[in-house]
Amino acid sequence: MIWALHGAVGMAADWREFAAAMPSHFGGVRRLDLWRFLDCCPMSLDECGRALAEEIKRVDPEPTLIAYSMGGRLALHAMLNQPGLWKSAVIISAHPGLKNESDRVQRREKDAEWSALALKGDWADFLAKWNAQGVLGGELEMPDRIKLKERRVSVARSFVDWSLGTQGDLTADLAKITCPTLWLTGERDTKFTQLAKVTVPQLQHGRHQVIPECGHRVPWEQPDAFQGACVEFLGNALET
């Protein structure tokens, strides 16, 4: 089965069309709501990675992960928690971790501002500022984000608990991951494409693919190319 993890300010529903289009022989797509891990109490990246791995392991002996951005970072923590569990993984536009503490401090400060805006600010203003970020390109607004206001407490908490500033640099640990891993980035997302070029060689069975005419939100900016890359890669993984 495929387990799909959304990104920051994302929703399980983001994967609806992808799930409907995937061939049935992959075992179906389970779209995870990551906010429920933060609905009751704080949970660190390491704790969430452990919880994800344990939850999936209980119902799926050979799971595949497809995970975008923040979800990709959570997926990496789950994969490192139980490296031998996973059949394969597709990581999209994810950051392996900042390399020095000064950068992590700066990121925590910025994410604290996002957290406050998500929790107490005007929700429409928060969404507008989020989508205006250079890394997102401002070219595509994800649907249904007004509905996400109902989860604003958990969204706000994620900027603290799952901030990139609370994450160590995972690069050196990625060699522990044994499953085939496809790492996707968008052609116009130069920052994350460069990160991937350094990161992917650390994986035992990693492959980096750049999706043309695309920015950070790869699955939604170029859905056909994204699905094609996933079907080809996961089909090959299924045969191994």
**Which CATH number goes with the domain that contains 217?**
3.40.50.1820
What is residue 100's predicted lDDT score, i.e. its pLDDT? 94
Sign for the pseudo-dihedral over CA of 16, 221, 6, 73: positive
Q: What average pLDDT score do residues 5-15 get? A: 97
| Residue range 14-49, pLDDT digits in tens | 999 999 999 999 999 999 999 999 998 899 999 999
Strands (E) in 100-226, as ranges, are 181-186, 206-211
Q: How many Cα atoms within 13 Å fall on the side-chain side of residue 120?
A: 4
What does the pLDDT look like over 200-233, one tens digit per residue?
A: 999 999 999 999 999 999 999 999 999 999 999 9
Q: Is the pLDDT of residue 240 over 70?
A: no
In a domain, 71, yes or no: yes
Q: Give residue 139's pLDDT.
A: 63
Smallest CA-to-CA distance from 75 within 58, 60, 56, 59 is with 56
238 band by pLDDT with thresholds 50, 70 and 90? low
| 72 occurs within a structural domain | yes
CB 220 within 8 A of CB 184: no
State the residue range of the domain holding 220.
Answer: 2-100+169-239
Order of strands, sheet of 29-32, starting from the edge strand that comes earlier in the sequence: 29-32, 2-5, 64-68, 88-92, 181-186, 206-211
Number of domains making up the chain: 1
pLDDT tens, residue by residue, 114-157: 999 999 999 999 999 999 988 887 667 788 899 999 999 999 99
178 part of a folded domain: yes
> Does a structural domain hold residue 108?
no
Does residue 155 sit within a domain? no
Percent of the chain with pLDDT over 90: 90
Q: Determine the pLDDT at residue 15.
A: 97
Q: Is the pLDDT of residue 239 over 80?
A: no
Mean pLDDT of the chain: 95
Quickly state the pLDDT bin for 56 (edges 50, 70, 90).
very high
Whether residue 111 is contained in a domain is answered as no
